[in-house]
Structure 1
Amino acid sequence: MDYEQSDRVKTALLGMALAGLSIGLVLRLAGWADAAGVVWFIGVAPVLLALLVEILRSLRRGEVGLDIVAALSMSAALTFGETLAAAVVALMYSGGTFLESFAEGRARREMRDLLSRVPHTATRHLDGTLEEVPLDAIVPGDRLLIRQGDIVPVDGTIASPTAFLDTSALTGESLPVRLGEGAEAMSGSTNAGEAFDLTATRRAAESTYAGIVRLVEEAQRSKAPMSRLADRWSLGFLAVTVTLALAAAWFTGDPIRAVAVLVVATPCPLILAVPVALVAGLSRAAQFGVLIKGARPLEGMARIRTLILDKTGTLTDGRPQIVEIESRDGMEEADILHLAASLDQASKHPVAQAIVAAAKARGLPLPVPSDIVEVPGEGVIGRIEGRNVIVGGDDFVAGRVGCGSEADALAAGSVLVAVAVDGRFAGHLVMADPLRGEAKAMLQALRREGVERILMATGDRADVAERVTEGLGLDGLRAGLSPDQKVLLVLTEHKNGPVMMVGDGVNDAPALAAADVGVAMGARGAAASAEAADVVLLVDRIDRLGAGICIARRSRRIAMESVVAGIGLSVLGMIAAAFGYLTPVEGALLQEAIDVAVILNALRALRITPPEIAGPATGTAGAAPSNVSGSKT
């Protein structure tokens, strides 16, 4: 039975229970007590029948829950002529399940909105005309028209001078972002500006949005381990309830007291608070760009004691950036960058594209190069505005101008790009993959959240890893690791408690799968790591990891608070009923209030705000995706 059909059934049962109770009360006040009893019986019957069917289904799955107490209380009340109490219990039970369904529906709202946004067709350019085609027909290289208000159907690059995209459905960032020509656009974004052209880089089934939808569907189908734990607890509570009810009837000789005890215990907050709080936590995390694949990883995140981080693309940005421009011939730094970036427009090398992006960010004009000769992996030669320009590795440029570059020693992990103009060395562009600005604050926040050990595991050289992590206060650094060595590290760290692994590359996928909770940097990471991970960060910011852990811990705490408070109040009510201080009707009303209270308390998980982030509307979702994705070595 799907969610919509289940919701309709619960709504119908609530309506019948409410109608039966209301009509019976009117008949009772009119003096027709016998007729009122019949109406109450009729109102209870469908609820009890539906409950018995659900109990049988649960028993076939090997699950025993506190729905049995609800069935016992209604059956006992009808048997001993307490039809009004049975009607109140029926209304209580159907109202509680309806409220639970409503709460879960509200918590799933963001996920349903995401699923409902899936586009089915796209507008493609073809021989000077436009055609509407199904998404499956789009192949990489197709040029698509994205009209104002359209959902970007596939991943691609902007083919117009500029585009204005709303990425809030994916990242939680409230402000639209402006992307220039050549920038990457994620499927699922909304065109918030004028129409633009997009060059498809992936098929629809392989695009970001399709992958996110698949992960969301997995999350919706999951069942929390804590819910199963609640079922195990329910066996003990069921035994206590039945024992207390039988004892009350045995020692007092009054079966009505047993009915009152059963009524107060129905239904237990265990089966209401836990799923509501955890599903609310999943929804809240999604608002911050943290897609958790189900309640199991959410609970796992709440118990993490050891964190293992990859370096490139995780602690660092994963894209080369210009950190310094050195002039060797008295040429202005802006001129060196202008000429180098203009020539590098002809190259697809990640470092070349990073240089072009840096020049565009500074607003430098980039004329079209001519007479281009590229030596793959070495450098580019060409003419810019009548000047001969060479850009590439130090040895490549030095060999063509006939002299040494006199390059200064580089820090570990840096890349030197030499530039020569008209046969003379002009200077160097010093590039590096810097530490993410939010990394240090995020690690400190995780310490406060109870993460005891933080390690780095990287396949890079030790000197590079040490330079990048200097001052971070890590508990350990493991460099030069192969994928299987990363897995071994994860398994070794299990002795210190639950382990979380964070990575973004294909080589991280095995370790992500081996960890108690694997987290993938999904904004620019490899598809393999996202598939292997339990959690995907949709925003290219590592600090959202801290937000996700905070939401997970607080959601679990809220669930436990609701359970403890609800069970405690129920036990007190059962004792009062056993001693005759509560009638069945009064007990039913009391338990109704308890159930409503614990569900409303569980919904507090929808308002969790991590201390480091003011909220999706004001938080920083990170820079727009870039077409730079590597480093030149």
Structure 2
Amino acid sequence: MKRDEHRLRLALLAWAGSGLALGLLLRWLAPEAAPIVLTLATLPVLAVLLRDIVQGLLHGNAGLDLLAALSMAGALALGEELAGAVVALMFAGGSFLEEFARERARREMTALLARQPRRATRHGPSGLEEVPVEALQPSDRVLVRQGEVVPVDGRALGPAVLDTSALTGESIPVTLTMGDPVLSGSTNAGEAFDLEAEREAAASTLAGIIRLVEQAQASRAPMARLADRWALGFLAVTLAIAAAAYLASDDPRRALAVLVVATPCPLILAVPVALIAGLSRAARAGVLVKSGAALEMLARVRVLLLDKTGTLTEGRVRLLEARPASSLDPRELLRLAASLDQASAHPVAAGLVEAARKAGLPLATPEAVREEAGAGIAGRVEGRAVALGGPGFVASHGWAGMEAVSDHPPGSLRVCVAVDGAPAGLLVLADPLRGDAEAMLAAARAAGIRRVVLLSGDRAAVAEAVGARLGVDAVLAERSPAEKVAAVLREKPGGPVLMLGDGVNDAPALAAADIGVAMGARGAAASAEAADAVVLVDRIDRLAEAMRIARRARGIALQSVAVGIGLSVLGMLAAAAGYLTPVQGALLQEAIDVAVILNALRALRI
């Protein structure tokens, strides 16, 4: 259907252009035939325009297309066939140019749709097998060849080099090691590697992005609706000036010239083009804004509320230090603890195992493992009795003392280790701040944020330590999901509120905020669904970039509207005073329209 409409617009442009050219030629060769040809060049465009007007009225939309119809019909009625043909050509050309501009602006977003792979190479019982992407299941081992797009989210089973530019706009390839997360939609820029799938294709990052892209493309921004309301006011002003020109001069051609100058109006062209360009540019920067409405709100936010875990922090514990209690080597302390923790699904265990593997330590298989949920784990590693966990748990396995090494950074976690019934040492872990957190907050304040609030469900001591380091304006800790919603509502009198979060517990607050932004790379699906925008990569500095893009796109839209309307009004006044003929008015207005569309496209270069 969309292709047929595109062909129709192209055919109308060709018809009106060839008819105008032939009509101008006949004005010299056969003057009596020229009006007929020029009328025939105008009528198909007028018919399609009247169809569009009727369809718009049936959907409750009325705008400045009516001026174009009045201009063409009036020109034919008054014997100004040349002016009518010029308006027809310029209207057909303007419609085609507007559609071209929209497609140009959407190109960066729609490129993702073509990237979705259809087949994947999976390790099967009898070797490699080609299967549909939909057949991949969690824990499947997938081969990603050089140049291929990663089909599902997972973890690298060896070193890999990925081009993530389609997701993030970052041109520098990312180097991954064993166990690092891999996002679908990335391109393998290095040697082939194996991937362990963690999600089905339908639940992977690329599939989610594609769904969000389709939502974003189907949306209509409030500014566009506001432009329609302004258009009705402009229509009234135009008709008033045209009526005044006729009454003052008793010349209907002056009224026609006024109508022609106002056809069509840059108001209805500049706003959607600039906002679609802004959506496209934000997507290139790694933030998928779901609608033009959200892009507008992103440009106006004044209060920023931030979750802590997984948003300001990395969302997974990392080893800060291994502190042996005796002559035991720190690496050996970590190796024994990580070997035992291979049998645990606790997040702290995952952090220890990851640290040991990155250090290249050979891990042994644990035996006789006994785990008490939330307390600790004990077992045997290479014949040695190993226990690790909190002081109370490890005390029953030989732990005593360690006061001399019990100091640790605020917000960190101590894991006590006992080996063969004797204290072996401490492992200090923490969920570290993201490296780009401070830069993001500084950029957000520069982009217009007046108040920053850390809103966390974590312990007060931990949240306040993070808040002090980042210099936020307020810290609200130990908040439940309902209390987070209440905090969002309390901040709204200070201006539009943006909530940034990643977990299921953040979803209600994201929905309550004026604009909710979810960390989509590793965040919960519920938060991404509730949010108005999704950060596609595991970097929060992209949020400040998206805010800057949104403000600039909105500014360009308003600038185009102001300049375009101003020039149109000046042209109408000149036409009303008799300084512009209908043909000259048509040429002037279309030059204005082209200028504002090109200006709106500057949003792509932000």
Q: TM tier, shorter chain?
A: over 0.9
Q: How do 1:278-293 residues align onto structure 2 when only pairs under 5 Å count?
A: 278-293=275-290
- Distance verdict in 2 for CA 1:409–1:402, change over 3 Å: closer
Question: Which whole-Å CA distance do the structure 1 matches of 2:535 and 2:326 have between them?
Answer: 45
- 2:430, 2:158 → 1: CA distance? 28
Shift in Å, 1:422 = 4.9
Contact map agreement 2:336 2:381 (CA 8 A) in 1: no
SS at match of 1:401: coil
Q: Deviations over 1:416-450 (max 9, x none)?
A: 12234454433222111222232223222222222
Deviation of the 1:411 alpha carbon: 4.2
Contact 1:523–1:538 (CA under 8 A) maintained in structure 2? yes
Q: Partner amino acid for 2:165?
A: S
Q: Deviations over 1:381-400 (max 9, x none)?
A: 3325x765544333333432
Q: Note the residue ranges of structure 1 that are not aligned, 5 or more in a row.
A: 609-633
Please say if residues 302 and 549 of structure 1, whose CA atoms lie closer than 8 Å, have aligned partners that are also in contact.
yes
Query: Superposed, which structure 2 residues align to 1:10-159 within 5 Å?
Result: 10-29=9-28, 31-158=29-156
Aligned residues: 603
Q: 1:372 Cα shift? A: 5.7
Q: Of 246, 250, 270, which aligns to 1:249?
A: 246
Q: TM-score, normalised by structure 1?
A: 0.91
CA RMSD of aligned residues (A): 2.0
Q: Any conservation in 1 of the 2:364–2:381 contact (CA below 8 Å)?
A: no
2:50 partner letter? L
Task: Provide the rounded CA distance (Å) in 1 between the counterparts of 2:449 and 2:600.
Answer: 25
Measure, in 1, the Cα distance between the counterparts of 2:571 and 2:345.
72
Deviations 1:499-548 (A, max 9, x none): 11111000110111111100001111000000000010012112111111
Match of 2:235 among 214, 224, 238: 238
Give the Cα–Cα distance (whole angstroms) in 2 for the partners of residues 355 and 41 of structure 1: 81
455 and 86 in structure 1: CA distance in 2 versus 1, 3 angstrom threshold: same
CA contact (8 A) 1:316 1:433 kept: yes
Query: Which amino acid in the other structure matches residue 231 of structure 2?
Result: S
- 1:606: Cα distance to partner? 0.5
Q: Distance in 1 between matches of 2:137 and 2:439?
A: 42
Q: Residue type of the partner of 2:526? A: A
- 2:265 matched to which residue of 1? 268
User: C-alpha separation between the residues in 2 aligned to 1:295 and 1:92?
Assistant: 28
TM-score normalised to structure 2 length: 0.95
1:342-388: CA deviation from partner (whole Å, max 9, x where unpaired): 44444433222222333444x4332433536251541353325x765
Partners in 1 of 2:366 and 2:470 — Cα distance?
Answer: 46
Q: Is the 8 A contact 2:335 2:363 kept in 1?
A: no
Name 1:195's counterpart in structure 2.
Answer: 192
Query: Which amino acid is 2:397 matched to?
Result: R
Within a 5 Å distance, the mapping from 1:349-360 to structure 2 comes to 349-360=346-357
Partner Cα separation in structure 2 for residue 313 and residue 484 of structure 1: 19
Q: CA deviation at 1:308?
A: 1.1
In the TM superposition, what whole-angstrom CA distance separates every residue of 1:300-359 from its partner, at most 9, and x where no partner exists? 111112111111111222111222332321444344334434444444332222223334
Instruction: State the alpha-carbon separation in 1 of the partners of residues 469 and 138 from structure 2.
Output: 44
* 1:131-167 Cα deviation digits (max 9, x unpaired): 3333333222323232332222222223x32233222
- Name the SS of the counterpart of 1:266 in structure 2: coil
Q: Point out where structure 2 has 5 or more consecutive residues left out of the alignment.
A: none
- Aligned to 1:43, the other structure's residue is in SS state helix
Q: Distance in 2 between matches of 1:434 and 1:131?
A: 41
Partner of 1:365: 361
Instruction: Classify 1:380/1:163 alpha carbon distance in 2 versus 1 (closer, same or farther; 3 Å).
Output: farther
| 1:58 CA displacement | 0.8
| Mean CA deviation greater in 576-585 or 364-373 | 364-373
User: Residues 515 and 466 (structure 1 numbering): CA distance in 2 closer, same or farther, change over 3 Å?
Assistant: same
Alignment of 1:587-626 (within 5 A): 587-608=585-606
2:206 maps to which residue? 209
Is the contact between residue 158 and residue 178 of structure 2 (CA under 8 Å) also seen in structure 1? yes
Tell me the distance in 1 between the aligned counterparts of 2:487 and 2:87: 54
The aligned counterpart of 1:623 is none
- Paired amino acid for 1:138: L
Residues 561-620 of structure 1: CA deviation (Å, up to 9, x unaligned): 000000000000010111111111111111111011101110111011xxxxxxxxxxxx
Contact preservation (8 Å) 1:346, 1:372: no
Q: Secondary structure at the match of 2:73?
A: helix
Runs of 4+ in 1 over 6 A off after TM superposition: none
Q: How does 1:391-470 map to 2 (within 5 A)?
A: 391-406=388-403, 407-470=405-468
Task: Give the partner amino acid of 1:26.
Answer: L
- Counterpart residue number, 1:539: 537
Indicate if the aligned counterparts of 1:310 and 1:503 stay in contact, CA closer than 8 A. Answer: yes
Contact 1:457 1:486 in 2 (8 A): yes
Equivalent residue letter for 2:163 = D
Aligned partner of residue 520 in structure 1, secondary structure? strand
Partner of 2:560: 562
Q: 1:594 to 1:380 in 2, by over 3 A?
A: farther
Q: Is the 8 A contact 2:245 2:576 kept in 1?
A: yes
For the residue of structure 2 that corresponds to 1:416, the secondary structure is strand
Once the two structures are superposed, the pairs formed by residues 482-561 of structure 1 within 5 Å of their partners are: 482-561=480-559
SS of alignment partner, residue 565 of structure 1: helix
Structure 1 window deviating more from structure 2 (183-192 vs 479-488): it is 183-192
